[in-house]
Amino acid sequence: SEELLRRSEKLSVVGELAAAIAHEIRNPLTSIKGFVQMMENGLDEKALYYNIVLSELDRIEQIISELLVLAKPQSVSFQRKEIGSMIRHVLKLLEGQANLHNIQFVEEIENEHEQIDCEENQLKQVFINLIKNAIEVMPDGGTIKLSCKKDGDHLLIQITDQGPGIPEDRLSRLGEPFYTTKEKGTGLGLMVSFKIIKDHQGSIHFSSEVNKGTTVDILFPLSIQ
Ligand code: ADP
Ligand code: MG
pLDDT in tens, 18-27: 667 777 888 8
Please give the pLDDT value at position 216. Answer: 98
pLDDT above 90 for 34? no
**Which residue, 67, 20, 18, 25, is CA-closest to 195?**
67
Buried b or exposed e, range 107-133, using 16+ CB within 10 angstroms: eebebeebbbbbbbebbbbbbebbbbb
**pLDDT beyond 80 at 189:** yes
For residues 102 and 159, what is the distance between their CA atoms, to the nearest angstrom?
17
CA–CA gap between residue 109 and residue 115 (Å, rounded): 13
Q: How far from each other are the two terminal CA atoms of the chain, in whole angstroms?
A: 23
pLDDT in tens, 105-153: 999 999 888 999 999 988 999 999 999 999 999 999 999 999 999 999 9
Q: Which residue(s) pair with 115 in the sheet?
A: 82
Report the half-sphere exposure of 158 (CA within 13 A, side-chain side). 17
CA distance 138 to 102: 9
Rounded distance, CA 162 to CA 209, Å? Answer: 10
Nearest of 137, 28, 146, 150 to residue 82 by alpha carbon: 150
- Distance CA(157)–CA(10), nearest Å, equals 29
The counts of H helices and E strands in the chain are 5, 7
With a pLDDT cut of 90, the percent of the chain lying above it is: 55
- Whole-model pTM? 0.82
Q: Which of 53-62, 145-154, 171-180 has the lowest mean pLDDT?
A: 53-62
Q: Are 181 and 173 in contact (CB under 8 A)?
A: no
Measured distance CA(161)–CA(117) in Å, rounded: 27
The reported pLDDT for the residue numbered 15 is 62
Nearest atom in ligand 1 to 185's CA:
3
Q: Does 193 sit in the ligand 1 pocket, CB within 6 Å?
A: no
78 secondary structure, DSSP code? P
pLDDT higher than threshold 60 for residue 29: yes
Q: From the CA of 179, give the closest atom in ligand 1.
A: 10
Q: Which of 46-55, 131-140, 192-201 has the lowest mean pLDDT?
A: 46-55
Model confidence at 92, pLDDT cuts 50, 70, 90, reads very high
For ligand 1, whether the C-beta of 170 sits within 6 Å is no
Other CB atoms within 10 Å distance of the CB of residue 77: 6
- pLDDT band, very low/low/confident/very high, at 12 (cuts 50, 70, 90): low
Is any ligand 1 atom within 6 A of the Cβ of residue 138? Answer: no
The count of C-alpha atoms lying within 13 angstroms of the C-alpha of 27, restricted to the half-sphere facing its C-beta, is 8
Q: State the distance from the centre of ligand 1 to the C-alpha of 169, rounded, in angstroms.
A: 14
For residue 132, the CA-to-ligand 2 centroid distance in Å is: 6
161 lines ligand 1 (CB under 6 A): yes
Indicate whether this complex's ipTM tops 0.90: yes
- pLDDT of 35 above 70: yes
Mutate to test the pocket of ligand 1, among 64, 180, 209 (most ligand atoms within 8 A of CB): 180
How many angstroms does the Cα of residue 144 sit away from the middle of ligand 1? 15
Whether 208 and 216 have beta carbons less than 8 Å apart is answered as no
3-state secondary structure of 170: helix
